[in-house]
Amino acid sequence: MLNALTEQSPDKILMLMQAFREDPRPVKIDLGVGVYKNAHGQTPIMRAVKKAEKQWWEEETTKSYVNLAGDPEFSDLMIELVLGTSVARGNVAAIATPGGTGALRQAFELVQMANPEAKVFVSDPTWPNHLSILRHLGIEAVPYRYFDSATGGVNFDGMMEDLGKVSKGDIVLLHGCCHNPTGANLNLTEWQAVVDLLNQTGAVPMVDIAYQGFGDGLEADAKATRLVASSCPETLIAASCSKNFGIYRERTGIMMAVTQDSSLRSVVQGNLTHLNRQNYSFPPDHGARLVTHVLRDADLRADWLAELEDIRTGMLALRQQLADELQRLSGSNRFGFIAQHRGMFSRLGLTSAQVEKIRADHAIYMVGDSRINIAGLNDESVPLLASAMIKVGA
């Protein structure tokens, strides 16, 4: 049996990580991996999370299972964090998941159960694992135009034209904030137009919100998701705690299904719980417990918010520094869009040949489409990247 298996295509980002590790040059810059890093190149444990972990270590009395859907308090607090008061709690079914990826997988499987013929419309470009999971499940992915490489912004007219082809029951996958991999985001007026189109066509929105708090602020980053969830008959949401709580290895996420018809919540919740049972039975609890401690304790929450804001503004400062340095070296503001992007990522608009030359000549590693992780920079490496970009003809 096993001899019938074929090799899987290697993950390009993981290959990039390996090449970076093996590069012997003393000065090298990793802008490929999508993990937050501070100025020292570390992914620190947030202060509030560290305190919560110590508290839980003292309080925990059992390692028994919690609940197939996860701890109810975790769900309540995360729903409040993402949706605020935009939707009544009784209209939301939810399950804890292993990270945002687990939430996406469960959401796609729920779609497959509810409508096996559904197509999923996905931004071009998008996070590669979106497409990988869809392929694995045998769900058709349809690209819609999103990024305008000439301006570094959103090709909104192209996006709306392509989304005009959706059918009732299809899924439109949207990035709630901090678009990965481009960093370019819709404004609220554009979001409203997307909502109107979805309601006209009967397509169902699925929002992937993995970077809440990394863009314009915790509340501002949730506005689009709240608009969608409060305006559409049904909304699926996959949320991750990896980035804004810094608990990548704890694999903590949540999948929410919002329905304006509260009578459907019970059957939806039952199906979500069933999916958890089939895939991994009980979801991991440790990361969810830490998030719960932070969100329900006023002092821990305040400290978490303060550190999260420092992370956000630090990345904005790096964006502005890079845009300013590129303007100084080039005499042009053609890279001004970098300062306008939000979140950890920006797509620089370099060719694959330029990306490769920057790696070969300057030991600066980025994904082949020129997506960079802004958090991989610091005050000293920003000038090195800007200089390398100009030298390769950017």
Which residues are catalytically annotated?
127, 208, 210, 243
The long-range contacts involving 187-196, CB below 8 angstroms and separated by at least 24 positions, are 188/223, 188/224, 188/227, 190/154, 190/156, 191/224, 191/227, 191/228, 192/227, 193/160, 194/159, 194/160, 194/163, 194/228, 195/227, 195/228, 195/231, 195/232
The partner residues of 389 in beta bridges, in order of sequence, read: none
Taking CA atoms, 81 is separated from 25, 49, 96, 265, 320, in Å, by: 44, 16, 14, 20, 29
Is 168 in contact with 204 (CB distance < 8 Å)? no
The long-range contacts involving 157-166, CB below 8 angstroms and separated by at least 24 positions, are 159/123, 159/194, 160/193, 160/194, 160/197, 162/121, 163/121, 163/194, 163/197, 163/201, 163/203, 164/197, 164/201, 166/119, 166/121, 166/198, 166/201, 166/203
Tokens representing 252 are 């903590």
- The residue behind tokens 């979500």 is 272
The partner residues of 123 in beta bridges, in order of sequence, read: 144
Is 111 in contact with 171 (CB distance < 8 Å)? yes
Which stretches does DSSP call E strand in the chain?
A: 29-30, 92-97, 120-124, 141-145, 147-148, 153-154, 171-175, 204-209, 234-240, 253-259, 345-347, 364-365, 371-373
Single out the residue of 238, 243, 246 nearest to residue 175, CA to CA: 238
